[in-house]
Structure 1
Amino acid sequence: MTLSLFDRPAVLFLPASNARAIAKARESRADLVILDLEDAVKPEDKDSARDAAVHAVAEPWPMPVAIRINGSKTEWQGRDVVAMMHSRVDVIVVPRTETREDLSFVRNQTGRPIAAMIETARGVLAAGEIAKEAAALIAGTNDLAADLRLPRDAGRSPLQMALQSILLTARATGIAAFDGVFNGLDDEQGFAAEAVEGRRLGFDGKSLIHPKQIGPCHAAFAPTDDEISRAERLIAAATGGAERFEGEMVERMHVEAAERLLARARRA
């Protein structure tokens, strides 16, 4: 199996206006870096951040690099799109996506793969149409919680239905899906627990806001030794069709899942 742009668990966001953060990200073990022109950048810094992002992606990187542009309802998106057309960016991330048209304009103008951030209730309900134009969906959990008017201490439970809807849409469309960010920079146990939960839900990876979250993210999304061993035994024992394996009934789809797991383990 080949490694696609989105078959990558650790997705690091950072402000495109922060040159020091960009330099650190280039040397990090992130699997995909997203240079942000949107929420992380002050209005007065938008133009300089855009220039910095375009300059950054013109240089070699050891991993794919995306740029999150500003939303369709802002004064900056037009200039962002023009800059993306003339840049070497691998992926464009569109924030607060609520319609298929939010993506189609950007994709048609730039010809780049588009990752859609689902950050509102309207976006969740329109995810099926949005996914037809997207190469990946990213759950924007902070904005989504705010749009749903959840209390600050509500936790993740009220978001489960929305997260599952985003994931189901991605799987039905055959594209990648990434879990949202964890805000507690100093809560390593909390991050690890949420990353494990994201993998158990079925997400391909997680959005990160600091390089120190990369290692725990890799650990959470990497197959365990027991999973690898069982997958190897299953593939070796499979003869085709439905059959008994270690007390369970398995068929071709289980073999394919085992092959995917081993492919990810080899890349970890």
Structure 2
Amino acid sequence: MSGVNGDLTTRSADSAAYRPRRSVLYMPAANERALEKARSIPADALILDLEDAVAPDAKDAARERAGAKVADGVYGSREVTIRVNALDTRWHADDLRAAAQAGPDAVVVPKVGSARDVHAVEKGLEAAGAPDHTRIWAMVETPVAMLHIEEIARSSQRLAVFVMGTNDLANELHAEHVPGRAPLLTGLGLCLLAARAAGIAILDGVFNNIRDLDGFEAECVQGRQLGFDGKTLIHPGQVEPCNRVFAPTEAQVEESRNILAAWEEALASGRGVATVNGRMIENLHVRNAQRILAVSEAITTLERETSSPAPPG
């Protein structure tokens, strides 16, 4: 069964409207063929990757290619981000400067461990002339980040999304990758609490075995049940099940409409309570119904706008 999570807005200076982030696909920026293929992949958002997927001797070319794709607008209405190299690498400053000048929807920053890290990225973006719409997506993937997650979540108005780095977190914990992810649940829970408290979105980490679609879908369901807005992906074959799991079902949409109709009728007649299918309806149910309908509408709009590949820039 599918479901839906997430706030209707991300915390920002301009109160940016909710954007679907059910499926967020990493694409290696060094691979022109992959970047071209991404135009026809129905992921909600893309991460043009300058980090793990790019060899050291290809970093400069990948940086230029990612910036050009963003500037050309070849991916249409979907959210397009650039993952830079980590703050302590020799490529970070050049990556950040180039990304700021290209003006993507966001810059994805690995290994964020403190509010100071976010402030450094924010300062670098502003110094390089990044537009206001370029947000920060912080990858939280270390024990240090888990222990400082609330201060990170509240560190900047540019910060819009947490991205869980579950591979690195498991490695640093000396934990095993097991079904159900019990070794990671403490960290995942802390990050979810901080994201919801600060009003920012949060994405689940990647699933490594691209051939295990049953295991992947089970992890998507778990992520949705925990409260994630969507999931980061490493293969186009993961997009369809991810989109399905993280979207409202037709039954949820219909029930939400019935809740709002019953609530409006109750208010019009001077009653402070309503019932739907024998269930008492309160304000929290109304807010959840409004959220589900807004998410469903945003998904429909995005899918309509991206149903045809964008023309070349």
Please state which band the TM-score falls in when normalised by the shorter chain: over 0.9
Task: Return the offset for 1:225.
Answer: 2.4
Distance 2:40 2:85 in 1: 26
Amino acid at match of 2:62: A
Q: Is the 8 A contact 2:258 2:276 kept in 1?
A: no
Q: Match of 1:151?
A: 176
> What whole-Å deviation, never above 9, does each CA across 1:34-86 have from its counterpart, x for those lacking one?
01111111122211111111111111222121001011111111111121221
Bigger Cα displacement from structure 2, 231-240 vs 115-124: 231-240
Q: Match of 1:204?
A: 229
Q: Match of 1:219?
A: 244
Distance 1:264 1:136 in 2: 17
> Residues 247, 184 of structure 1: CA spacing in aligned structure 2 closer, same or farther, 3 A cutoff?
same
Q: Equivalent residue of 2:151, what SS?
A: helix
> What whole-Å deviation, never above 9, does each CA across 1:109-145 have from its counterpart, x for those lacking one?
3242100001101111111111122211011111110
1:93 and 2:108 are equivalent in the alignment: yes
> Residues 231, 105 of structure 1: CA spacing in aligned structure 2 closer, same or farther, 3 A cutoff?
same
Structure 1: 5+ residue runs without aligned partners? Answer: none
Q: Match of 1:124?
A: 146
Task: Return the offset for 1:176.
Answer: 0.4
> Residues 163, 104 of structure 1: CA spacing in aligned structure 2 closer, same or farther, 3 A cutoff?
same
Q: Match of 1:252?
A: 283
Q: Is the 8 A contact 1:7 1:176 kept in 2?
A: no
Q: Equivalent residue of 1:115, what SS?
A: strand
Structure 2: 5+ residue runs without aligned partners? Answer: 1-7, 10-15, 301-313
Q: Equivalent residue of 2:82, what SS?
A: strand
Distance 1:109 1:57 in 2: 19
Distance 1:198 1:183 in 2: 15
1:78 and 2:109 are equivalent in the alignment: no
> Residues 176, 232 of structure 1: CA spacing in aligned structure 2 closer, same or farther, 3 A cutoff?
same
* Residue identity (%): 43
Q: Is the 8 A contact 2:180 2:219 kept in 1?
A: no
How many residue pairs get aligned? The number is: 268
Amino acid at match of 2:232: S
Q: Is the 8 A contact 2:21 2:230 kept in 1?
A: yes
Q: 1:136 aligns with which of 149, 153, 161?
A: 161
Q: Is the 8 A contact 1:93 1:115 kept in 2?
A: yes
Q: Match of 1:56?
A: 69
> What whole-Å deviation, never above 9, does each CA across 1:179-234 have from its counterpart, x for those lacking one?
11111111111111111111111111100111111111111011122222221111
Q: Is the 8 A contact 1:117 1:140 kept in 2?
A: yes
Q: Is the 8 A contact 1:8 1:32 kept in 2?
A: yes
TM-score, L = length of structure 1: 0.93
Q: 2:185 aligns with which of 152, 155, 160?
A: 160
Amino acid at match of 1:117: M
Q: Is the 8 A contact 2:50 2:63 kept in 1?
A: yes
Distance 1:217 1:234 in 2: 27
> What whole-Å deviation, never above 9, does each CA across 1:143-192 have from its counterpart, x for those lacking one?
11001111355761111111111111110000101011111111111111
Amino acid at match of 1:226: A
Task: Return the offset for 1:4.
Answer: 3.8
1:264 and 2:277 are equivalent in the alignment: no
1:34 and 2:52 are equivalent in the alignment: no
Distance 1:152 1:136 in 2: 24
State the Cα RMSD in Å. 1.9
Q: Which structure's relative contact order is higher, taking Cα pairs within 8 Å and 6+ residues apart?
A: 2
Distance 1:171 1:242 in 2: 27
> Residues 162, 147 of structure 1: CA spacing in aligned structure 2 closer, same or farther, 3 A cutoff?
same
Q: Is the 8 A contact 1:5 1:64 kept in 2?
A: no
